[in-house]
Amino acid sequence: MGNNSAFIGIMSGTSKDALDGGLYVFEESKKLFKFHHLQSMNFSKQYKNFQSTELINEEITNKSIELVKKILEQVKHTPSGIAFSGQTIKHTDSESIQAGNPQLIADSTGIKVYSDFRNWDIKNGGKGAPLIPAFHEFLFSEGSETKLIINIGGIANGTHLSDTGINIASDIGPGNCLLDYAASKIVNIDFDKDGKIASRGKINKKLFEELINNFPENIYPRADDLKVYTEYFFKNFESLKKLPLNDLFRTLTEVTAEMIFKFFVFCERPEKVIFHGGGTLNSFLMERIEKKIEKKLHTTDDFGVPSKYVESAGFAYLAYKKRSEIFFPK
């Protein structure tokens, strides 16, 4: 294992449900990608609801150090670096605020840390999100077949690829964020497992249209702050939670599927559609997407890349390409 191509990647998404990581090895000339020692660690139950940046900062940093040390216990050679995504507090096209202390992680592990990827991207002409499309291109851009790679995390984002590389990459709409919030605040569960609650409901057309009309539509590429999707929902939550539970979940599921479908159409209906992220575990949501786009859906697992770890691997790839700030251990 060449040290210059091996990186630990760690990632916490907008869903804030778990920290995922592993050791990832890249070889650009052969489009070679290998993964080792995959690990996942749950945050404290309170973490999703933390409002204090200081508390978020402390937990994401400490959990990251703990996860990295678990991986290092299994690694024979010191990797080239650690890719630390941080936890997004706020994001605009001109500034991204990330919780987490990459310097402390570097000092605690003795390994340099690649971090602040989003502000590095903004400074270099990007929007700071989505960032994983560069990894999508590395994995899937080959041959003449057009592909759409969709990540369903808290926010859904997509990468449209052809044999020439990335045609467009953009945030798309809410992924799991509204469904998970409703599950947590109304049912006191983390998520609607397999979409069972939603599958028994009917679409509330009024709510569906109001939500869709409050989101950006057909404006790509863009990088969205989470509040773009949650603001209307939060403001109207007291009335929304009075709706029949199954209908509310059914409607929120349909909103996520519809926003993904709109991007699929915008990208001129690519030949192959590949998914990753937590949303792939919601079988009812995936059924609704498949029915809309009228194509067989694939996940990155079908291509030997575990869906749960695509984003942490993607940040490791960005570290390998040095698309970040670098923090050296003191």
Both 146 and 120 in one domain: the answer is no
Q: What is the pLDDT of residue 327?
A: 97
Both 229 and 314 in one domain: the answer is no
- pLDDT range class, residue 303, cuts 50, 70, 90: very high
185 has a pLDDT exceeding 70: yes
302 within a domain of the structure (yes/no): no
- What is the total count of domains within the chain? 2
Q: What is the pLDDT of residue 3?
A: 52
Rounded Cα distance, 22 and 36, in Å? 6
Mean pLDDT of 229-234: 88
- pLDDT range class, residue 34, cuts 50, 70, 90: very high
Q: Give the pairing of strands 147-152 and 272-276.
A: parallel
Query: Quick one: angle between helices 245-266 and 283-293, nearest 10?
Result: 40
Other residues' Cβ atoms within 10 Å of the Cβ of residue 298? 15
Q: What is the pLDDT of residue 168?
A: 96
301 within a domain of the structure (yes/no): no
Rounded Cα distance, 82 and 6, in Å? 9
Mean pLDDT of 129-142: 92
Q: Which domain holds residue 263?
A: 141-295
Mean pLDDT of 237-256: 96
Q: What is the pLDDT of residue 1?
A: 41
Both 151 and 110 in one domain: the answer is no
CATH code of residue 84: 3.30.420.40
Write out the H or E segment, with its range, that includes residue 210.
Answer: helix 205-213
Both 150 and 56 in one domain: the answer is no
Both 228 and 267 in one domain: the answer is yes
b/e burial code for range 17-42 (CB count within 10 A of at least 16 → b): bbbbbbbbbbeeeeeebebeebbeee
208-222: per-residue pLDDT in tens? Answer: 999 999 888 778 999
Higher pLDDT, 249 or 14: 249
Mean pLDDT score across all residues of the chain: 93
39-95: per-residue pLDDT in tens? Answer: 999 998 888 878 888 999 999 999 999 999 999 999 988 999 999 999 989 888 888
135 within a domain of the structure (yes/no): no
Both 84 and 172 in one domain: the answer is no
Write out the H or E segment, with its range, that includes residue 266.
Answer: helix 245-266
The 3-state DSSP composition of the chain as helix, strand, coil percent (nearest 5) reads 45, 25, 30
pTM for this entry: 0.91
94-124: per-residue pLDDT in tens? Answer: 889 999 999 999 999 999 999 999 999 999 9
Rounded Cα distance, 6 and 24, in Å? 6
Query: In Å, how far are 16, 136, 179, 273, 282 from 257, measured between CA atoms?
Result: 21, 21, 12, 13, 11
